Structures are given as structure tokens and as C-alpha cells.
């Protein structure tokens, strides 16, 4: 299952470890540009992480070991998920038949412990956040899997490398409409899984309206750093999947492909920032509607694909 | 050529169905329905030339071309401009609420629409098809659009919502019509337009009566007429 | 000594295990200890027999004359029955150890002897049912199991709720028994004997009848969705270790029945496979949806049993679709996924019921909303429950993930398959399974968070203590088993292969192709172990980093947004956590919500309540029952209570019989 430890594997791991916080910087910069501000430095997230790692943590008296374990699981699962996703032409270092299922479930594991850690504080707000996160995850998961069905049929495989590899390029010729629908729906999943506007506002200052941010309200110091880092990696993973889906074309030159891929991720980050700038947050009651709508559209994509002779 | 344009067009029309089922803002539904109608109008010459070319393997003569152009413009104008204008005006004049409400919530009709579309595609595969129907999508698209229109018709409380549902239903039938262009050209074309006129006309009359009798144009008031 | 003798000896030991307790004085704990010892010994012998079977291969069937003329009782263990035996023996043995401290005879003299007695009897009955090689012995074991389970459900028969649950259980159970009778009568009509064998064809009316009776009749015992009505009440009313057996293994007997009957058919129509898959998916989704709305920890776990049975049946459905379309790999993945989930569910569900029992034993209530913060006072129970919770959500690196992965692989295979067949419809179960996984995660975050985390919601939580070793021991063992299957699934692949090949034996063509495949080549069992290793390594590194960093941190209150006097009652409750999801599934759950009306500026104390009842029971079964009560109530007018009237009836009937002439004569 491991290919020989190639330069790509090393680059893959390094990219996963070092690149993701930059995406948060790009999103923030985009939003600042729309707002007519200069915004904080692109590398601010790295500085934040470095600072948080040096800080002390404060723990609530009601918490147990579950509260401290949550961020660790969140980060570890994000890393494992990142190991199975190919980055552009470079195939993933960890690949086997069925790794897409592992991808979805390992992220679920991270979510499980983040929510548990939130409930450990005994705060009504964090309970609220956990309940919302759980609900939206239930609605987002089928969308992800319906998209996987489409890709799995196009590539006749259940391995991420093949699923998001050359088969997609052929797929854009033969069955563009379903792929386009999947790309759009997965973008919605990206926004909801990573707590972006219009589903959640990472910058709001009112606990009552938050989802993800309110769950991690009580974390501090290195634990909070782990949460931010884990969230950045998770965002990067979803962005990478969408880039793979939309830009499956290879130049043949390895270096050029890497550059194209990384530029693609930055572009998606700009896109996320743009969506966040031009849209308002949805009313809470509207969110299930949008997610179920995405589900219906992806269901339609599967059926459309099945109807092709 | 025909497939290349017809299929994406129909896919967009189907997606608009879901949008119409989800959105509660009356104005947006009107725009979506108008967009769907205009899109179908534009698909009409595409379907026509597609079938003609498959048949005669040649170019169109001038008369057919002009007729085609005229009809396309007429359909797009009626479906995409006149009817929405009429509806928006009605909305303003009758002073109805700017949002639609549904008798069974928003999500169940949406899910039913999705399942209906799935069933339509499955069902269409079992139908015997003529050779000339180069695309496989029109029949399921027609069925699915009709089903979605019917769902809007069934679930929306407001009279205007009903009119919109009826128009979506009409759009479904229009897609069916696209398939029959070759067989009975003029009849179908006239039928499409007349159907539409009659539909809107009738609903308009009902609507006017309703709005005169009741302060708020909701068809639920009709049940008050029951003895 | 072959495995059959061994397992029957074990079963006899289990069956007799209750007698010492009956013979000894009511309050003596010796009796109960002896009973537990005998039952554990019986289960141990049985496990040895199962081990022997997997090592040495099958033994010659035993037979002895039965009361029914012309047919014998046959004992024949094959791959399928050996696979089902393992969890039965493990869970039953552990449950009787658990019962020593959970339901001690010294305290509950009135009914503890009964529990010991019927527990042993039920264990033996399930063993007999599974090792049976013919329909008669199957029915014998089935009925003994059903009746002893009823007495176990009715342990606390002083409570009206318990009596109601027991009656409902026995009624539903007899529906299943009746269907099982029907199935084997039809088998007799087709093959001329009660022995398990392949039917001559699958299209005759009798064969179709057998299939329908198996799915919807025997499925009552398994707890499939429309016919699950008895399950939540019975599981909630029984003592926790009995619930663990009922949910962990007894309902699996229904599954065993369905699997067994499905193996009789020489070929399977595609529609059966798709129907089974649909029934499984609906059970799974609605089971977990109902679970989310519950406030009673045991009812909640009971609804999760419906969900998991649904997942198992999805595996079976996939295998049937595979048989119908000749895809050997789907058959193997489906049947192995389903069977492995049988083991997994037995392990984590009994673990969870043991954990719930530990909490209930300490708290004295099953109501989630008065619990909270128990994790600090009962750390072992909390940790074991957490492992069970992660496992039941199907999350890696525990066992639930492995079985669900197998089913997913098969379902995704279906979408890649031939372009024009309806078989690709099977793939739509995959997003359903994903939905089930996410809902289960929501539900168990809720349970674990409400029960073990946060601050206590009532004063009772302050007096809670950790349970004794007889209760925590079995939990630790089960948690270990969950982890073992999750981390090293490849160890269990040979047993699964063997069970799968037994199951397809009726289909000669496919059998050869399934025999060529093996689970460890089809499914990524080794990579799963590697991923588990990576995950554990990352977790260890992360934990170490964090621990090194935070050694000197101060403690403080939870941040409650500046509010100065937060109280434990302000925490999210089970009802508020579930509110959104219950609302989204409102069309099926029909929650009853009592909203307080507030019409003054300074309102008095008000209450908010929401309940999720069983929709099928409340809206279909109960009205139907009332109708029949009314209908048969009409005949009460005949009962006049005077002898003269009864004599008159006799006279009328005699006259009637004299006048009546059969139509043909």
C-alpha cells in the first residue's frame, strides 16, 4: 500500500504539515480586501500557532481528560485524513481500496471527540455548538457520499488516488454535468465542514450564533493551537479534493504540476474568502434547507450519471 | 451539436425545479420560473435543428429558419418576460405577502422532488423510444418538471404559488412537446402557446376573484366555501 | 470428544445452572455464585467447542429421535452456526458474572433466583437453537428462549410498565414463533423433511412464502423497523445484564433465522435483494432517528439495536443482490460485513448495556436528564462506555468501522457495476449508511456527554460510586474485544470466509467462485491495522506534547460568556441536544411537545417537555389492538352467567349441527 518512499511522499507530508495555515491567511486577506482594509499578515496564523504553543492553558474545573483529549484527536484525525488525499498529480502516501471511507470516518472520529470535549465543559453555549455541529454533520455526510458515488462510478475505483486522479479528466469529457454538480455540492460541504459563512461565522463575537467556534470556547494555550492547526489541515484537505476535482489536467512536468496545484488551492481559498465577503450568514433555520438542497442535487447528479447509456 | 446544448439546458431546467421547490421568496420563485421558461424557449430551436439535421442531414431553408426564429422569440418573450411581469404586477396590485408558505414544510416537497426526479429517470428508461430521440434526457426531464410543478401546486398555500406551480407543470409539458416537434410541428407549437395563455388566464381570473373576496390571497380560504 | 458433545455438555451445564440457587435458601449468595460458575463453565465449554470447530473442522452430525414421528432431532454445527455461537457464549457468560453484583441475591431475594434460573436456561436454549441442524430442534430452542426471555423481562413484575412490556414482548415473540413454524412447515412441504436443505426452486409460492415469513415474521424477533414494537419496552424493562443478552445476542437469533432461511434458496431474484436492502436501510435510519429522541438510556440503546440490526440486514441484502446478479465479491463482502457486524454489535451493545447498568445501579434511575458529570466518579465505567460509543458509531480504529467498511465496499462495487442493471440501485444504501453513521455519532455524543460529562444535574449524582469488579471486569473484557477486532481484523477473516462459504453452499455455481475469493484479499484488512497504528501513534505523540506543555496550568470556572451564576441546570439537556434532529425527522418521530405558554411579564415557573413515543406502536399497533378488543368484546354478550342460558346454547348448537349439511355431501 505504501509506494516506495519517493520524493513526492516527502513533499506531500511537508505540504500537509506546513501549507494549511497559509490558506487561512489568504481567506482573511481576501475578506480584508473586500472590506477595504489591509488585513493582517498572510502568515499571521503561523505566528498565532507559535504563540499559543508557548502559552499556559487554563482548564475549567468541570472538565475531565476527555476535554484535553479532544484537540489531540481532532489534529491526529485531520492528519490521517490528509495522508489519503492526493495532492494534484502526486498520489497520496497512504492508499488502499476503500480509503475514501476511511477518510470520511476518520474525520467523523475527530468531530466526535471535538463535540464530546465541548460537552465536557458543561456550558450551555458549548452544548449548543455541539448539537448544531452534530446536526449539520448528519446533513453534510450524505452529500459527501453521493459525490463519492459519482466519482466511484466514473473511475471504477474506491481508492482516493484513482477516484480523484486521471479518471476525473476523462469524466469531464464524458459526463461533465454530474461532475460539475458534485463540485458545487462539495464546495457547500467544504463551507459547512469548515464552519464558513454562510453556515457559520468564524469571526462573530456572539457565542449564541456560533457553531464551531463556540465549541472550542474553553480551550486555551497549546490545546487551542492544536484545534486551529487541525482546522487548517481539515480545510486544506477539502480544498485539495475540490482542486483535484476541478483541475484534473496534468502538464507532465512534475514541478509545474505542483505549482498548478498549490495555486489552485490558493484560488479556492480566495473563492471561500469571496463567498464570505459577499454573502451574509444564513438564518439558522435556513441551513438545513440549503444542505438538504445540496443533497437532492447530488442525488440528482448520481441519477443523471446512471442514466447515461 | 444538439445533445451538446440540449442536455446541459435540461439539466439546468431540472436544477431550477429544485430551486423553485426550496425558495420561499415569491419574487425569486417568479424569477426562477421565468428563467426556466426562457431557457426552454431557447432549447426549442436547438431541439428542432437537432431533429431536422438528424433527419435530412442538411441545412435549414430560409422559411423554416425565420419561423423558428420567430417562434423562439415569441416563446422566450411570453415565458420569460410577459408572464413574470404579469405575476409581479399581480403581486404588487393584490398586495400579497412576499413569501410563499407550504402546507407540509419546505423539506418534504424538496425530498419528494428529488425522489420524483429519480423515479422519472428510472421510468423513462423503461419506455420504448423512437430512434430519432438522440438525447435520453427530455422524457425524464419532462416528467420530473411536471412532478415538481405538481408538488408546488399541491403544497403552496398562496394563490400566486399555485399559478407558479401550474406554469412549472406547463414547462414540463413543453419539454414533452419538444419531442413531438418533428411529428406535428405547428400544432404543438400553437398548443404550447395557447395552453400557456389559457392557463394563466384561468388562474388569473380565479386569483382575482379570490383576492377580491378575501383580504389575503390564500387558497386555504377556498375551503370556507365548503358547506 | 467432538465439538458437538462438548457444546451439548456445555448447554446442559448452563441449563442446569439455576437449580442450585433454587435449592438453596432464598437469601444465600452461594446459590447465585454457583449458578454463575456453572453458567460460565458451560459457556467456556461451548467456546472451546467453537474453537475446536474452527481448528479441526466440522464433526459428524448427531441425531436422536424426536417426539414428532418420522423425523429426528439433528445437531450439526457448521460455519454459520459456529459464528453465531461465539457471541452467544461470550455475552451470556459475562452477563452471569455481571449479575453477581448487579442483581445480587442477598438484596433481591424475591426475584434473583428466577433471574439466575432463566438466564441459564436461555443460554442453553440459544445454543441449542443455533447448533440445530433441523427445523424441529430450532423451534424447540426458539420457544424455550422466547419463554425464558419473557420471565427475565418480567423480573420486576411489581411494576405495571414491566408487565406491559413483558406481555407485548411475548405477543410479538409468538408472532415470530408462528412464522418460524410456517417457514419450517413450508420447508417440509417442499423437501419432505425438517432437515436444513436446499429447496428445489426459489420461484414456487411456498418458497416466496418462506422468504416473506422469514423477513417479516422472524424479523419481528430481530427487531426490523416496522415490526420492532416490542423491542424498546422489553429492553428497558429487563435488568441491564438481561438487556445486554437480549440486545447483544437474543435478537441475533432472529438474524440467524433470516440468514439460515436465506441459505436454503438455490437462486435469488434481484427484487428480494433490493427489498432486503431497503428494509435494512429504513430500519437503520429510523432506528437511530428514534434513538436520538429518547430520554431513557436503555430505551435509547434499544433503538440503536434496531439500527444495528438494520445494518446487518443491509449486509445480507447486499449479499442477496450479489447472488442475484452473480457477483461473488458482493456476496462475500455483504455476508462477511453482516456477520462481522453481528459480532461487533454483540460486543459493543452488551458493553453499552453493562455500562448503562452500572450507571443505573448507582443512580437508581434511567432518566438521562438527571445525570451528568458521572465520569469523574466512575472512571472505568465512563472509559468503557466511551469505547463502546465510538465503536457503535462505526468510527475507526474500533470494530464497528471494519464491518461497515466491508458493507461500503460492496455497495460502492454496485455503482461501478454493469451499466444497465437495476443492481446499481443498491448503491443508494451507501449514503443511507453514511447518514446512519452521522446520526449515531450525534446520539452517542449526546448520551456520553449528558451522562458522564459536564456537571451533575441532580443531587443524586454526588452519591454515585464506581461499580465493583464483577461489573467492571466484563466491561473491560468487552472493550478489549472491540479494540482487538478493530485493530487486527485480519485475525477473524478465516472464520468469516468459512461462514460465508456455508451460507452460499446452496448456490453451486457461485459457491465455487466465492471459495476462490478470500476476505483478506477483497478488503483492506491489513491497511486498516496500519491506519489504526498510525492513528494511535499520532494520538500518543499529541498527548505527550500536550501533557508536557500544560503541566502547570491553573484551574478556573467554565466560561459562560460573563454570566456570573451559571448552574448545572443551564447545561444542554438530552432534549435540547436532540431538538434539531428530532425536528428534522418529525415526520416519522411525531414528537409530543408541551410548550409552556407565557403571557405575563414575570411568569411563574414553567415546564417544557418533549417525548418521542414509538410511532408504529402508538399509531398502528395500539389502534389495531383496540379494534380487535372491541370486536371480540362483542362476544362477551354471550356470557350471561346463568346455567340455563348455557344449556340453551348447547341445545342450539346441537340443533344447528343436526340441521347443518356440509355443502358437498
For chain B, what are the domain ranges?
Answer: 2-225
Backbone angles phi, psi at C594, to 5 degrees: -105, 100
Residue-level pLDDT at B183: 64
Last residue of a domain, one of C234, C250, C265: C265
Asked whether residue C95 is assigned to any structural domain, the reply reads yes
| ∠ CA C344-C347-C348, rounded to 5° | 85
Residue-level pLDDT at C241: 94
All three cell numbers of C310, joined, read: 438494520
Mean pLDDT of C252-273: 93
Q: Give residue A147's Cα distance to chain centre.
A: 15
Partners of C74 in beta bridges: C63
Least confident residue range of A102-106, A175-179, C380-384: A175-179
Statement: residue B130 has pLDDT above 70: no
Residue-level pLDDT at C553: 65
Tell me the pLDDT tens digit for each residue of C357-375: 999 999 999 999 899 889 9
Mean pLDDT of C447-453: 94
**Residue A307 to residue B137, Cβ atoms within 8 A:** yes
Which subunits count as partners of chain C given 3+ CB pairs below 8 Å? A
Tell me the pLDDT tens digit for each residue of C572-586: 889 899 999 998 888
Partners of C555 in beta bridges: A59
Statement: residue B97 has pLDDT above 90: no
Asked whether residue A300 is assigned to any structural domain, the reply reads yes
Residue-level pLDDT at A306: 84
**Residue C267 buriedness (CB in 10 A; 0-12 / 13-18 / 19+):** middle
Q: What is the mean pLDDT of chain C?
A: 90
Helix (H, G, I), strand (E, B) or coil at B225: helix
Residue-level pLDDT at A204: 72
Three-class SS string for A155-201?
A: HCCCCHHHHCCHHHHHHHHHCHHHHHHHHHHHHHHHHHHCCCCCCCC
Number of independent structural domains in chain C: 2
Asked whether residue A251 is assigned to any structural domain, the reply reads yes
Asked whether residue A277 is assigned to any structural domain, the reply reads yes
Asked whether residue A16 is assigned to any structural domain, the reply reads yes
Residue-level pLDDT at C416: 86
Nearest one of A253, A212, A182 to A111, comparing CA atoms: A212
Chain C residues 496-525 with a CB less than 8 Å from chain A: 523-524
Asked whether residue A2 is assigned to any structural domain, the reply reads no
Statement: residue A1 has pLDDT above 50: no
Tell me the pLDDT tens digit for each residue of B36-60: 989 988 888 887 776 555 445 445 5
pLDDT category of residue C472 using cuts at 50, 70 and 90: very high
Residue-level pLDDT at C506: 83
Nearest one of C199, C314, C342 to C268, comparing CA atoms: C199
Asked whether residue C130 is assigned to any structural domain, the reply reads yes
Asked whether residue C101 is assigned to any structural domain, the reply reads yes
> What proportion of chain C, given as a percentage, has pLDDT over 90?
64
Closest to A76 (Cβ–Cβ): which among C432, C454, C542? C542
Q: Is C384 on the interface with A (CB under 8 A)?
A: no
Helix (H, G, I), strand (E, B) or coil at B156: strand
Q: What is the mean pLDDT of chain B?
A: 76
Q: Which chain A residue has the Cα nearest residue C544?
A: A72
Number of independent structural domains in chain A: 1
> What proportion of chain B, given as a percentage, has pLDDT over 90?
8
Mean pLDDT of C442-454: 94
Question: Residue A167 is part of which domain span?
Answer: 7-307
Helix (H, G, I), strand (E, B) or coil at A66: helix
Residue A1 in contact with residue A94, Cβ under 8 Å? yes
All three cell numbers of B113, joined, read: 422532488
Mean pLDDT of A91-104: 92
Closest to B113 (Cβ–Cβ): which among A296, A304, A309? A296
Residue-level pLDDT at C21: 81
pLDDT category of residue C421 using cuts at 50, 70 and 90: low
Mean pLDDT of A203-220: 80
What is the distance between the alpha carbons of residues C233 and C168, in angstroms, rounded to a whole number? Answer: 8
Mean pLDDT of C242-257: 95
Helix (H, G, I), strand (E, B) or coil at A136: helix
Tell me the pLDDT tens digit for each residue of A250-261: 887 888 889 999
Question: Helices C79-102 and C3-16: crossing angle, nearest 10°?
Answer: 30
What is the distance between the alpha carbons of residues C241 and C249, in angstroms, rounded to a whole number? Answer: 12
**Residue A49 buriedness (CB in 10 A; 0-12 / 13-18 / 19+):** middle
Asked whether residue C640 is assigned to any structural domain, the reply reads yes
Asked whether residue C176 is assigned to any structural domain, the reply reads yes
Statement: residue A17 has pLDDT above 50: yes
Asked whether residue A218 is assigned to any structural domain, the reply reads yes
Nearest one of C401, C137, C76, C121 to C250, comparing CA atoms: C121
Nearest one of B26, B32, B41, B1 to B14, comparing CA atoms: B32
pLDDT category of residue A16 using cuts at 50, 70 and 90: very high
Asked whether residue C129 is assigned to any structural domain, the reply reads yes
Residue-level pLDDT at A2: 47
Residue-level pLDDT at C16: 93
Residue A282 in contact with residue A290, Cβ under 8 Å? yes
> C-alpha dihedral over C366, C369, C371, C373, to 10 degrees?
150
Tell me the pLDDT tens digit for each residue of C76-113: 999 999 999 999 999 999 999 999 999 888 776 678 88
* Cis, bond preceding C30 (omega within 30 deg of 0): no
What is the distance between the alpha carbons of residues C148 and C175, in angstroms, rounded to a whole number? Answer: 16
pLDDT category of residue B1 using cuts at 50, 70 and 90: very low
Residue to substitute from C285, C378, C395, interface A, most A β-carbons within 10 A = C395
Say what the pTM is: 0.92
Nearest one of B200, B219, B223 to B210, comparing CA atoms: B219
What is the distance between the alpha carbons of residues C490 and C522, in angstroms, rounded to a whole number? Answer: 12
All three cell numbers of C89, joined, read: 457464549
Question: Residue C642 is part of which domain span?
Answer: 615-659
What is the distance between the alpha carbons of residues A147 and A193, in angstroms, rounded to a whole number? Answer: 15
Asked whether residue C210 is assigned to any structural domain, the reply reads no
| ∠ CA C421-C437-B111, rounded to 5° | 60
**Residue B107 to residue A303, Cβ atoms within 8 A:** no
Contact residues, chain B, for A307 at CB < 8 Å:
121, 124-125, 136-137, 140
> What proportion of chain C, given as a percentage, has pLDDT over 70?
98
Amino acid at each position: 500500500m505504501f509506494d516506495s518512499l519517493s520524493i513526492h511522499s516527502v513533499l506531500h507530508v511537508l505540504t500537509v504539515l506546513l501549507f494549511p495555515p497559509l490558506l487561512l491567511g489568504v481567506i482573511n486577506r481576501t475578506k480584508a480586501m473586500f472590506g477595504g482594509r489591509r488585513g493582517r499578515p498572510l502568515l499571521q496564523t503561523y505566528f498565532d500557532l507559535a504563540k499559543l504553543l508557548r502559552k499556559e492553558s487554563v482548564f475549567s474545573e468541570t472538565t475531565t481528560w476527555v476535554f484535553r483529549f479532544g484537540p489531540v484527536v481532532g489534529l491526529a484525525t485531520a492528519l490521517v485524513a490528509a495522508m489519503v488525499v492526493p495532492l494534484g498529480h502526486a498520489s497520496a502516501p497512504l492508499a488502499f481500496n476503500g480509503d475514501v471511507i476511511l477518510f470520511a470516518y476518520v474525520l467523523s472520529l475527530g468531530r466526535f471527540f471535538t463535540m464530546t470535549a465541548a460537552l465536557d465543559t458543561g456550558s450551555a453555549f458549548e452544548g449548543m455548538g455541539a448539537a448544531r455541529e452534530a446536526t449539520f454533520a448528519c446533513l453534510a455526510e450524505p452529500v459527501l457520499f453521493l459525490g463519492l458515488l459519482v466519482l466511484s462510478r466514473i473511475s471504477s475505483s474506491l481508492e482516493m488516488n484513482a477516484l480523484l486522479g486521471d479518471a476525473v479528466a476523462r469524466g469531464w469529457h464524458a459526463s461533465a454535468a454530474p461532475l460539475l454538480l458534485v463540485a458545487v455540492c462539495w464546495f457547500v460541504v467544504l463551507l459547512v465542514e469548515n464552519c464558513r459563512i454562510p453556515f457559520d461565522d468564524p469571526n462573530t463575537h456572539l457565542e449564541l450564533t456560533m457553531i464551531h467556534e463556540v465549541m472550542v470556547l474553553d480551550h486555551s494555550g497549546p490545546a487551542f493551537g492544536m484545534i486551529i492547526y487541525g482546522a487548517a489541515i481539515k480545510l486544506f484537505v477539502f480544498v485539495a479534493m475540490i482542486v483535484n476535482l476541478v483541475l484534473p489536467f496534468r502538464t507532465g512536468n512534475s514541478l509545474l504540476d505542483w505549482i498548478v496545484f498549490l495555486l489552485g488551492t490558493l484560488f479556492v481559498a480566495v473563492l471561500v474568502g469571496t463567498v464570505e465577503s459577499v454573502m451574509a450568514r444564513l438564518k439558522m433555520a435556513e441551513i438545513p434547507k440549503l444542505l438538504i438542497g445540496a443533497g437532492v442535487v447530488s442525488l440528482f447528479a448520481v441519477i443523471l450519471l446512471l442514466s447515461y447509456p | 451539436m444538439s445533445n451538446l446544448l440540449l442536455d446541459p439546458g435540461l439539466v439546468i431546467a431540472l436544477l431550477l425545479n429544485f430551486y423553485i421547490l426550496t425558495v420561499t421568496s415569491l419574487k425569486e420563485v417568479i424569477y426562477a420560473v421565468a428563467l426556466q421558461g426562457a431557457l426552454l424557449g431557447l432549447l426549442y430551436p436547438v431541439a428542432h435543428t437537432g431533429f431536422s439535421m438528424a433527419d435530412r442531414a442538411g441545412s435549414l431553408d430560409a422559411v423554416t429558419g425565420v419561423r423558428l426564429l420567430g417562434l423562439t422569440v415569441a416563446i422566450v418573450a411570453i415565458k420569460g418576460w410577459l408572464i413574470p411581469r404579469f405575476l409581479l404586477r399581480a403581486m404588487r396590485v393584490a398586495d400579497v405577502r412576499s413569501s410563499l408558505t407550504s402546507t407540509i414544510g419546505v423539506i418534504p416537497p424538496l425530498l419528494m422532488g428529488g425522489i420524483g426526479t429519480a423515479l422519472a429517470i428510472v421510468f423513462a428508461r423503461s419506455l420504448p423510444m423512437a430512434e430519432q430521440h438522440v438525447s435520453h434526457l427530455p422524457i425524464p426531464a419532462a416528467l420530473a418538471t411536471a412532478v415538481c410543478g405538481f408538488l408546488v401546486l399541491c403544497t403552496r398555500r398562496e394563490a400566486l404559488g399555485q399559478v407558479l406551480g401550474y406554469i412549472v407543470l406547463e414547462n414540463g409539458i413543453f419539454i414533452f412537446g419538444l419531442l413531438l416537434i418533428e411529428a406535428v410541428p405547428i400544432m404543438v407549437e400553437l398548443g404550447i402557446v395557447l395552453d400557456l395563455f389559457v392557463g394563466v388566464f384561468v388562474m388569473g381570473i380565479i386569483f382575482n376573484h379570490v383576492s377580491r373576496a378575501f383580504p389575503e390571497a390564500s387558497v386555504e380560504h377556498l375551503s370556507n366555501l365548503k358547506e | 470428544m467432538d465439538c458437538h458433545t462438548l457444546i451439548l455438555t456445555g448447554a446442559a451445564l448452563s441449563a442446569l445452572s439455576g437449580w442450585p440457587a433454587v435449592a438453596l435458601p432464598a437469601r444465600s449468595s452461594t446459590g447465585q455464585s454457583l449458578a454463575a460458575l456453572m453458567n460460565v463453565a458451560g459457556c467456556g465449554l461451548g467456546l472451546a467447542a467453537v474453537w475446536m470447530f474452527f481448528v479441526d473442522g466440522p464433526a459428524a452430525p448427531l441425531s436422536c429421535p424426536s417426539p414428532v414421528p418420522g423425523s429426528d432431532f439433528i445437531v450439526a454445527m457448521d460455519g454459520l452456526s459456529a459464528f453465531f455461537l461465539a457471541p452467544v457464549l461470550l455475552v451470556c457468560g459475562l452477563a452471569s458474572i455481571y449479575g453477581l453484583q448487579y442483581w445480587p441475591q442477598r438484596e433481591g431475594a424475591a426475584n434473583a433466583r428466577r433471574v439466575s434460573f432463566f438466564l441459564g436456561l436461555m443460554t442453553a436454549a440459544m445454543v441449542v437453537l443455533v447448533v440445530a441442524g433441523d427445523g424441529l430442534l430450532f423451534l424447540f430452542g426458539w420457544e424455550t428462549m422466547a419463554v425464558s426471555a419473557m420471565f427475565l423481562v418480567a423480573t420486576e413484575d411489581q411494576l405495571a410498565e414491566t408487565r406491559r412490556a413483558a406481555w407485548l414482548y411475548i405477543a410479538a415473540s409468538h408472532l415470530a414463533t408462528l412464522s418460524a413454524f410456517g417457514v419450517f412447515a413450508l420447508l417440509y412441504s417442499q423437501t419432505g423433511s425438517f432437515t436444513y436443505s436446499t429447496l428445489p426452486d426459489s420461484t414456487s409460492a411456498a418458497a416466496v412464502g418462506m422468504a416473506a415469513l422469514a423477513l417479516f415474521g422472524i424479523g419481528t424477533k430481530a427487531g426490523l423497523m416496522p415490526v420492532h414494537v416490542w423491542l424498546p419496552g422489553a429492553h428497558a424493562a429487563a435488568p441491564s445484564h438481561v438487556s445486554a443478552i437480549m440486545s447483544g445476542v437474543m435478537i441475533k437469533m432472529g438474524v440467524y433465522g433470516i440468514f439460515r432461511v436465506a441459505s436454503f434458496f438455490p437462486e435469488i431474484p434481484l427484487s428480494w435483494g433490493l427489498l432486503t436492502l431497503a428494509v435494512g436501510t429504513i430500519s437503520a435510519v429510523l432506528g437511530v432517528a428514534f434513538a436520538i429522541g429518547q430520554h431513557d438510556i436503555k430505551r435509547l440503546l434499544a433503538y440503536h439495536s434496531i439500527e444495528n440490526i438494520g445494518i446487518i440486514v443491509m449486509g445480507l441484502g447486499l449479499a442477496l443482490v450479489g447472488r442475484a446478479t452473480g457477483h461473488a465479491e458482493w456476496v462475500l463482502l455483504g455476508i462477511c460485513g453482516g456477520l462481522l457486524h453481528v459480532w461487533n454489535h454483540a460486543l459493543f451493545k452488551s458493553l453499552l448495556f453493562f455500562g448503562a447498568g452500572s450507571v443505573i445501579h448507582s443512580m437508581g434511575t434511567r432518566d438521562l436528564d438527571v445525570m451528568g458529570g458521572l465520569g469523574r466518579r466512575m472512571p472505568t465505567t465512563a472509559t468503557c462506555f466511551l469505547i463502546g460509543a465510538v465503536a457503535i458509531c462505526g468510527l475507526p480504529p474500533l470494530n464497528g468501522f471494519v464491518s461497515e467498511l466491508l458493507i461500503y465496499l460492496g455497495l460502492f462495487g454496485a455503482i461501478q457495476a454493469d451499466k444497465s442493471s437495476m443492481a446499481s440501485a443498491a448503491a443508494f444504501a451507501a449514503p443511507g449508511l453514511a447518514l446512519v453513521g452521522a446520526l449515531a455519532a450525534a446520539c452517542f455524543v449526546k448520551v456520553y456527554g449528558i451522562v458522564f460529562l459536564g456537571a451533575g444535574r441532580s443531587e443524586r449524582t454526588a452519591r454515585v460510586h464506581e461499580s465493583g469488579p464483577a461489573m467492571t471486569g466484563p466491561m473491560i473484557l468487552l472493550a478489549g474485544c472491540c479494540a482487538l477486532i478493530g485493530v487486527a481484523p485480519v485475525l477473524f477473516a478465516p472464520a468469516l470466509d468459512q461462514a460465508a462459504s456455508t451460507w452460499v453452499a446452496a448456490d453451486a455455481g457461485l459457491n465455487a467462485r466465492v471459495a476462490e475469493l478470500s476476505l483478506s484479499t477483497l478488503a483492506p484488512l491489513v491497511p486498516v491495522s496500519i491506519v489504526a497504528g498510525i492513528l494511535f501513534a499520532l494520538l500518543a505523540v499529541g498527548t505527550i506534547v500536550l501533557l508536557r506543555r500544560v503541566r502547570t496550568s491553573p484551574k478556573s470556572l467554565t466560561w459562560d460568556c460573563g454570566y456570573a451564576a451559571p448552574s448545572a441546570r443551564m447545561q444542554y439537556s438530552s432534549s435540547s441536544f436532540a431538538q434539531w434532529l428530532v425536528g428534522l425527522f418529525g415526520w416519522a418521530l411525531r414528537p409530543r411537545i408541551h410548550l409552556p405558554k407565557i403571557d405575563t411579564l414575570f411568569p411563574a415557573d414553567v415546564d417544557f417537555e418533549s417525548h418521542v413515543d414509538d410511532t408504529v406502536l402508538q399509531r398502528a399497533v395500539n389502534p389495531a389492538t383496540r379494534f380487535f378488543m372491541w370486536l371480540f368484546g362483542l362476544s362477551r354478550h354471550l356470557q350471561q352467567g346463568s346455567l340455563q342460558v348455557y344449556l340453551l346454547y348447547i341445545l342450539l348448537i346441537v340443533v344447528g349441527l343436526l340441521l347443518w349439511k356440509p355443502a358437498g355431501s
